[in-house]
Structure 1
Amino acid sequence: MTTIAARRAALFALFDRLGIVTTTHEHEAVFTVAEGRHVKETIPGGHTKNLFLKDKKGRLFLVVALGDAVIDLKRLHEVVGASGRLSFGSGDLLEEVWGVKPGAVTPFGALCDTGQRVTVVLDAAMMEQPVLNYHPLENTATTSIARDDLVAFLAATGHEPLILPCSQPG
């Protein structure tokens, strides 16, 4: 198993190969959206939350939305096409498939999912933001990326994202 530092280096190398320009801000570890509020104040762009979910048949989903989005988990399976209601995937499964620990969930984990086991779902409201922010595989930094570059990165890893209306009007 490679280290986080090695995976992070591979992530930025892929950005370079794809011609994707990002900006990364180092900061103390943050584990929740609420903990990161003070960090967000200094970083422009849409700040996000990432839900690692599984359905009754074991299909895996990463649902990515703005941090303050309201998502109805009881009905989300209908939106994303899952088999029955969704539940949170375990931390062990998250690390095995997506290569990150709980508290550092990010769409950039697609780099580690070489078997394309996870379906990435980007909330349509989030995709209205021109710049989005995610952890670069660890929660001690935030990387800003253009929305179209996020889609290009995901496609390059074999994770063509679904862009769907996952959040409810707040």
Structure 2
Amino acid sequence: MFYISEVKSTAPAAFQTTLQEMVYHVLQQFNVCYERVDTDEAITMEDCLLIDEKLNMQTVKTLFLCNRQQTDFYLLITTAGKPFKTKDLSSLLGISRLSFAPADLLEQMLGTKVGGASIFSVMLDKDNKVQVVLDEDAISSEWYGCNDGTSTSYMKLKTEWVVNEFLAFAHHKPKIIKL
């Protein structure tokens, strides 16, 4: 059975990663209200559906992508249930071919392992090598559901804050698209 804690509104007692610690520091700095749960490692869409039910929101899908040469990087945020086709996004962005970035680059550039990519990961992208790409559908609801840079802690916070304040704080201007 997949473990999900009771809903909490405080940071974890101990942080698993530097990124996770940064996330809660920024939330505190901006006085952002959030709800969160600790979980077993969430791997499947079914796991995320259970998390969504507990937090009464929908977790976004966050994908770390790159061009063939691995010189241009993209953090795509879309809805969890939306099928993803690289050729569709490549066309929208005017790029010949996109693919998933290697796991070692995900960890090196965004401080997370596979399954832990989050909008908050851009705080570690100080050189702005990663373009944030937001699907309109993923930012159309009141609540933004995501992980905190780990695959074992998920949160719900206001979408408006993420898009308008957090990304400006992280010095990342998003490209908004319709997938």
CA contact (8 A) 1:4 1:137 kept: no
RMSD: 1.6
Select which of 40, 48, 54 maps to 1:28: 40
2:88 pairs with 1:59? no
> In the alignment, what sits opposite 1:9?
21
Q: How does the TM-score come out when normalised to structure 2?
A: 0.84
The structure that is helix-richer by fraction is 2
Measured after TM superposition, the shift of residue 134 of structure 1 is 0.6
2:153 pairs with 1:141? yes
Higher relative contact order (CA 8 A, sep 6+): 1
**Percent identical:** 22
Task: List gaps (5 residues or longer) in structure 1.
Answer: none
CA contact (8 A) 1:106 1:137 kept: yes
CA contact (8 A) 1:45 1:130 kept: no
Select which of 140, 156, 159 maps to 2:172: 159
CA distance in 2, matches of 1:17, 1:80: 34
Question: AA paired with 2:91?
Answer: E
CA contact (8 A) 1:76 1:85 kept: no
CA distance in 2, matches of 1:36, 1:14: 24
2:73 pairs with 1:73? no
CA distance in 1, matches of 2:125, 2:45: 24
Aligned length: 163
- Residue by residue over 1:64-121, the C-alpha shift from the partner in whole angstroms, topping out at 9 and shown as x without a partner, is 111001232112112134x311011000000011111001111111111112111011
Q: How does the TM-score come out when normalised to structure 1?
A: 0.88
Other structure's SS at 1:134 match? strand
> In the alignment, what sits opposite 1:132?
144
Measured after TM superposition, the shift of residue 32 of structure 1 is 3.2
Question: AA paired with 2:100?
Answer: F
